[in-house]
Each structure stands twice: as C-alpha cells, then as structure tokens.
Structure 1
C-alpha cells in the first residue's frame, strides 16, 4: 500500500499513519518530489516493492502526466486499486490515470471530503459501483448530500445548473467547533442556509461545504471546486475547474489555470494559462484549440479573452498552481508573496511575456478599486 501524499496534510496523517497502522498494512513511505530524478521514479518503486494500492492527489497525477506521460508503460507493476483525493480531477486526467497508470486494471476511487469532515463524504465503493471520469460518485453510507441554489432551494438531479453542495444530516466525524472562535464555526459552515438561528433541530442547519457541484441523473456528484474560485462573466458564474477541464481536453495541453481579469464591458473576463506536454511547441493553433474547446464544452460566454502558453506554472512545493500569482500578472497588480513557490523565477518570465504583449495590444487596465485589488489578491486562496 502506498499513499503518495504530504504526511503533514490530513490525507497524509490519516492514510500514511493512522489507517495503514490500524489495519496492519505493509506501507510505503516516500520523501521528496515525485518526479526526482525523473517522472518514472514512482513506477520504479511500485515495481520494485510490489505496490498494488496507490493513493495520491490530482496535483501529483497532473505533474506525472505532464513530465512523463509514457513512463508507466515501462514498468512491470500492477495496481488493483487507485485513489484520488484532495481536489477535483479533470476527466482527461482521470482517463490518463486509469489507462496509463492503472493499465486499465485498477478500480479508481475518486473521493470528496474535507479536513473538517473526519472521513469521505462522496465516493464510489471500489469495484462495486461504476466509475465515472470526473465524478466522485454518490454520498457514502450515512451521508446525504444535497445541492442548493443561492436561495436554499434544492437543484434537481440531472440539471445543468450548478449549486452549493451541502450535507443535510450530522455524522460522527464532523468537527465540533473552531478553537477559540465558535461564532466563526457557525457563520462559516452552518449559517448560510439556516432560517431560524434559535432552532435546535439539525434539519434547520445544513452543513455548507463551500464547494460548487453538479448532480447527474444517476445521483453521482461532480465537484467543481471552491465556490470562492468562480469567475463572474456578464452575470454567468464560471467555475475555474470547469474551464480548466475543458482546456485539458486539448491533446497538447498538460496543465491549465483560469484566472479573472477586470473587463470594462463584462465586469470580468477569463484568461487561460496553459503549459504544454514535453515536445510540444507554443503556437497560435494551440491557443485557438483551447479557446475552441471552452466554446464547445461550456459556451461562448466562457471564451477566454486571452490564452497564454507558458513554460511552467508558478507552483508550491507540493505542486499546487498558485492562481493568485498569475491573476496578479494578468491584472498588472502585485503577485504577492512568492517565497513559498518551488519555482519563483518563473513569475518574472511569465510577467514579462504577458504584460509586454498586453502593452503592445493596448490592454493596459485602469486603476483598480480597493475591492477589485482585494478580489484579485485573494483569488484561488481557498485551495
């Protein structure tokens, strides 16, 4: 068994320490980045140690797909069960994980939960329920999710309208308070849809997870990401994960990040940043393919104002893309603190490319209001 996660994260201490020890599982522990000295290292380890259960996050999967898309086929390992956890996984990335990493043999469990929850909220039962790329599945046993609109009305199954995923019932693993700040605990997680603050009936206090979601006719949930990471274009709320998933359907694209840019007509517009797979060269054709994919899969309203092909994304040491940094670049504001980045030098490379081109096009923004500056500064921080 191998949980390929940061041991200091909830996934790490739950699924590297407590879970495997409680079940007496033979467990692999790994220190360092997954792609050192090359992107084949995880698969060499899996082959050498006979790993058959693999547990990791979409960020790691994207990184391995970008740097070594064909590496898994070089090694003789066989996973029977693979998990993805921590953030939504795009359907195209899921398919690579299943076809290349799992060699079409492994059952994938795409789990949805949060540190605050004490355990999975949404997931399929491995090999018992059908897998669906990009969907975590139904609520797990004892968990009853519902998607509510902004007015608190349930969004029906099969609707193309996204909403806020909430949990209708209490459960044993849910955290009890925020230390030293019980009012914040209530206001953050329970107040949004409560109609009677004096009620003692748990039916009146649905748990607000802070994630956007869709529910298909079959009951499976597709998590769209944090509701904070929404770009409001001419009144249309576009989830960043939705936009990025569309961009990743383009064969040449390895990574994608959507950010808002202030637009005088539409309020906000979308700008897409993409990094390419090894061997691919930037071109106008790829930019058009990305815009076209978003047009076709989401709609004309979501068409990016610009598509920027960059050599790499600014990332933390754990591999997370820092969207607030590139949002700052797109809006000619400060990218903020970059000392925690694994590759801080890439920020200046991207800034020079993007801002020089915008100046050339005459796209210098007006002076932003304090509220707009704060919005850009905070974009993506929920991750």
Structure 2
C-alpha cells in the first residue's frame, strides 16, 4: 500500500512541477469584477478577470477546498491546456510541434511541462503495477567460460603493464604505478585459479577485480556485492536524469536537417521533447493494458509499431516533408535512437559506479 501512495505522490509531484514551468497565458482567470475593483496583489484597477499589471486573478479563493482545487489543476487540468494538447500529441504531433514553434503557445502545454508530467506519471505507474528491479539476483560467476575470460583479461592487463614498466627508466616515478597494476593483476589471477572446480557452476564469487582506477573499481565492487540495489539506483537515475535524453538527441536530429537553414536548434528541441513525452505516455498505456490482461500479442504489436509510426508522422508534419523523405529520416533516426539510449544508459551506469 505504501508503494501505491508513493506512486500517487510521484504523479502529483510531476504535475505540480510541470505546472510550475507552464505559462499561464491563455487560461481562464476567474470572474470579471465591476468598476472600481482593485487587484489584491498590486492595487491596480481591474479591467478584466486578471490584473493587466501583475497577472494575478481578480477572483481569489480563501478556503481549504481551494488547496485541492490548485492540486487538481496542477495535476490534471493545466487549466484546460492538457486536453487541447493530448489529442494533437497523439494524432497530429507534427502539427502540434510546428504550431508551438511558430508561436501558438497559449493554447497548449509547453513541451517541458508535459515532458515532466509524463515522466513522473510513467514511473509512478510502473511502481503501481509492480515493475521493479529483481531483488534476488545471483551474484555468482557461474560458468567456466566466464572465469576463463576474466583470467585472460587479467593476464593481458599484466602483460601490458609489464611492457609499459619496462619502457620507462628506473628512476621514472610512473614505474610504481605499473608495478601496482602488475601486482593487482597477479593477485586476480591467483584468486581465479584458487576457485574450486566444484564451485565454478554454483555461486562462486570473485571480488577485488582491479582496473587501476580506484573510483571505477569501487563501483565494480558495489555492483558485485549488491546488484539488486545498484539496479534500483539505476532505475532511480533513469527517473531523475531522463531530461538528459533531450540534449543527447539534439545533435542527431540536427544532423537530419543541418542543411535546412529555416530550422533551428530550438525547433529540434521542441520536436524531441514532445516526442519523448508521447513515448512516455504510450508506455503508460501499454503498461496499464498489460496489467488489465490485454493479449500479449497486442501489447508487443503496439510496442513495435506505434513508436516508429508516431515518429514518422511527427517528422513529416513538423518539417513539412514528403512521405519518402520522412520515411528515410525516420529509419535513420531509429538507428540514432539506439545510439542515444546506449550513451544514456552508459552514462547512468558510470555515474552510479562512481557515485
């Protein structure tokens, strides 16, 4: 039950953070007031529902229910913008991207606001349905091949260190560094050779495998001692650092259009942010569909077909491309996405190991 409450809190938090970033232009501000009414914030005479000087609504609530009203607007309403944005994001994403870039922004939720809302909601839904890292990972090495591979790596590391040491003069202070690497490699080899054959296919464990970089070695040790905890931290890092996908994707999208001077980095950023937000919302729908028992075949088909089709449609509409041109760019972009995700996960693993 505590997990469900925590997940619900995540949804609320995502909505409120997104709401904090969302401009309030174009929203209803409350009832208009009669002549002579003053803004309660700055004292300016009101000529409409909102103060034209500071922007505050002329109608303010002063009740406990007003707090709930603010939360509901923050999470679900975005003062009506969300319900104008979602249909376009789902069916005409390129039109939404182009209209926002060209300046039609008061009607729609901004890319970053809906991105934050969708990311928080996605991970909250994952938690509600029980998508968590496994807690009983076997930390054993397992097979003879894996041990042999680790031993060979240690042998190669020792040989390289010996070569580097011998190429330096006797008074070179860097020789000590290579002496230490040689000693560490030999210790690893002895440790691997000492594993009983009867334990090789069981839960044999090897620790203190050294790379020569203390921070990275410490990270390896943490992964080896408690992989379940490290996987949980990795999941949390995905949740916290998902925004990195935007700058990581930007140069790849730019490569698809770098010779078209009418498109700027801002345009590509809006395209990327709306696209990631849709994919997060799609994952939410697929996860919920799986949880209520929708056929696995439909789930797999939706997961494989809808993302590239949506990307194709958004690219064709946003950049006013012919279908053939949009299709070719989409194929290239799908390849780029594998690179982007690999870089993203590598960064998270390295940050988790170092920190």
Greater RCO between the two (CA within 8 Å, min separation 6)?
Answer: 2
More strand by share: 1
* TM-score in terms of structure 2 length: 0.22
More helix by share: 2
* TM-score in terms of structure 1 length: 0.20
